[in-house]
Structure 1
Amino acid sequence: MNTSTQTVSVPFAKGHGCANSFIVLPDPHGRFRLNEATICSLADPHTGVGADGILRAVRCAAEPEAAAMADRAEWFMDYRNADGTPGSMCGNGIRVLARYLVDTGRCTPGSFAIATRAGIRHVYVPDRSHGLRGTVTVAMGIPAFPGPDDITVTTSGGKSWPATHVDVGNPHAVVFVDALADAGDLSIPPAVEPAGAYPFGVTIEVAVVLGTDHLALRVHERGVGETRACGTGACAAVAAHRHHTGQSDAADYRVDLPGGTLHVSVAADGAMTLTGPAVITTVGTIRLPHAGETCD
């Protein structure tokens, strides 16, 4: 055991889904906690590994936050945004974590469950997809539209659009524009009104409809900034598009993002699956500053 004033070496992996990047920290026995300073340092490309988010992989039975789900999933995704705040769900992150669990022999290929703060999510890692181009699928559930109906998003450039509140395990505000460039600089958080609509922050999607089953998307992720892809954002944009157009039949959608293409399938009951590349690019060890209780 090490005190918070010490640093320790721990294994890590880095991966991405459509250039939405993550650091994976295996902690099967739940022996360390990540504080905000550690997460920010790791996620910063100048002081750490650099990533959009951190995925601590811990067994549900060893994590008090996930213990109630231990009978349905072995692993819990402790997801943190780059600013250190916890996230309830991450569509690309859970796919990267699934890829890591299979590649390291912690899970077998095929379907298995992963626990998240948004509940249980089932993933599918194909048996022969260990190469860099392998895809991973996650069942995202049925999106919700909790309102209010008068949300407005205003970018740093002063442009405003009405937005649709979509919840896919985390909150989103989706706006539709004529061209993605209309959003301007998305590294600066857009303003959202009414102010109380998202008390814990919101991820904002700026979407263009390219066809009945084809969208293009830019995203400002809460706690991160503009990212090159967002899995839950792709699902939220598809849900908002279907909501606006009255679509209710099962359908498959292509969502183009700056970092690549994701595919969203919608069943007749509205349940969504998200499919796309999940790549592990780097493995090694890293010194964790400001660590709490850690394992040697």
Structure 2
Amino acid sequence: MAGGLRFTKMHGAGNDFVVLDLRDGAPPPDAAACARIADRHRGVGCDQLLTVEAPRSAGAVASYRIWNADGSVAGQCGNGARCIAAWLVRAGAAPASGAFAIDSPAGRHEVARDAAGGFVIDMGIPDFAPEALPMRGWSAPQAEYALEVDGIVLRFGAVSMGNPHAVVEAADLAHAPVDRLGKALQAHGAFPESVNVGFVEVVAADHLRLRVHERGAGETLACGSGACAAVAVLTRQGRLPAGAPVAVDLPGGRLRIQYDPASGHVRMGGPTAFVFDGTMSGEDQP
């Protein structure tokens, strides 16, 4: 790209992104270029790269796509959705107050504002069908699954939030083997397209602690879709009261999740931050 690659660095609860404005129809970087941009030593550094593009549905203000740090494509990113909403408002492409809609790879999302002026994203309806993840070995949804992983029988819930999630309950989250078991479950043949693995500790009926090992990125400071998945799975298992708002604490900050089984929708609120704007240039420039 002549003149360098202009970008915005953002984060949502520590889950960090490089945002590219491609609303003029410019092509996105290829997978190798995405990985170079995401490199924390030779590039800008991020968990995911987000591209802002023209809307795909009537009435939406824009769409976005997602690439993981390794250059693989992602279908959903809750923290990224909030950052895209904030980016669009700052760019004047979305209203500074009131609701609007954005398109993600997983579909259309309504964006509302909370009392503090932050963003609440309608993350859609969780899909518990094994084929939605996809997950092999089961033909019907189960509240809990069991697989032999790394020499132990690991029990977990599973759901698609537009991207696949396995949710493992942990009694002591601080000492949970997130990296070891996260990688092992991601590599299991039951998940042909890998899976995001969340380890969750139930603190109270309205309070969870969560760590997520994301496919293509490793453990991140926060995962918005993972927080939604944890609340959806635990509600389905009867571990949380249906419809109640839940505070989900991740290493990078707190997200607010509400899953309403009556409507089927999950809504997520949390922080967003602009870190800096810049231009990437030099021989590593895509």
Asked if TM exceeds 0.5, the reply is yes
Match of 1:115 in 2: 103
Q: Deviations over 1:248-280 (max 9, x none)?
A: 632100101111110001223231100000111
Q: Deviations over 1:117-152 (max 9, x none)?
A: 1111111246974xxxxx221001121211334343
Distance 1:73 1:206 in 2: 34
| Residue correspondences, number | 271
Q: Deviations over 1:44-68 (max 9, x none)?
A: 11011110000010113xxxxxxxx
CA contact (8 A) 2:186 2:196 kept: no
Q: Which moved more, 1:240-249 or 1:225-234?
A: 240-249
Give the direction of change, closer, same or farther, for the CA distance of 1:13–1:179 in structure 2 (3 Å limit): same
**3-state SS of 2:4 partner:** strand
Q: CA deviation at 1:281?
A: 1.2
The reply to whether residue 280 of structure 1 matches residue 267 of structure 2 is: no
Q: CA deviation at 1:73?
A: 1.9
TM-score calculated relative to the size of structure 2:
0.87
User: What pairs with 1:157-196 in structure 2 (closer than 5 Å)?
Assistant: 160-186=153-179, 189-192=182-185, 195-196=188-189
Distance 1:153 1:184 in 2: 15
CA contact (8 A) 2:61 2:93 kept: no
Q: Which moved more, 1:262-271 or 1:96-105?
A: 262-271
Give the direction of change, closer, same or farther, for the CA distance of 1:266–1:189 in structure 2 (3 Å limit): closer
Distance 1:247 1:100 in 2: 33
Q: Which moved more, 1:141-150 or 1:227-236?
A: 141-150
**3-state SS of 2:74 partner:** coil
**RMSD, matched Cα:** 2.4
Give the direction of change, closer, same or farther, for the CA distance of 1:248–1:260 in structure 2 (3 Å limit): closer
Q: CA deviation at 1:154?
A: 3.7
In structure 2, what residue type is equivalent to 1:73? A
The reply to whether residue 42 of structure 1 matches residue 37 of structure 2 is: yes
CA contact (8 A) 2:61 2:94 kept: no
Distance 1:230 1:160 in 2: 25
Q: Which runs of 4+ in 1 moved over 4 A?
A: 125-128
The reply to whether residue 137 of structure 1 matches residue 108 of structure 2 is: no
In structure 2, what residue type is equivalent to 1:140? M
Distance 1:126 1:178 in 2: 32
Indicate the structure whose relative CO is greater, using CA pairs within 8 Å and at least 6 residues apart: 1
The reply to whether residue 21 of structure 1 matches residue 9 of structure 2 is: no
**3-state SS of 2:231 partner:** helix
The reply to whether residue 146 of structure 1 matches residue 140 of structure 2 is: no
Match of 1:83 in 2: 70
Match of 1:294 in 2: none
Q: CA deviation at 1:184?
A: 2.4
Q: CA deviation at 1:192?
A: 2.5
Q: CA deviation at 1:75?
A: 1.1
Match of 2:135 in 1: none
Match of 1:52 in 2: 47
CA contact (8 A) 1:123 1:139 kept: yes
Distance 1:275 1:230 in 2: 12
Q: Which runs of 5+ in 1 are unaligned?
A: 61-68, 130-134, 292-296
TM-score calculated relative to the size of structure 1:
0.84
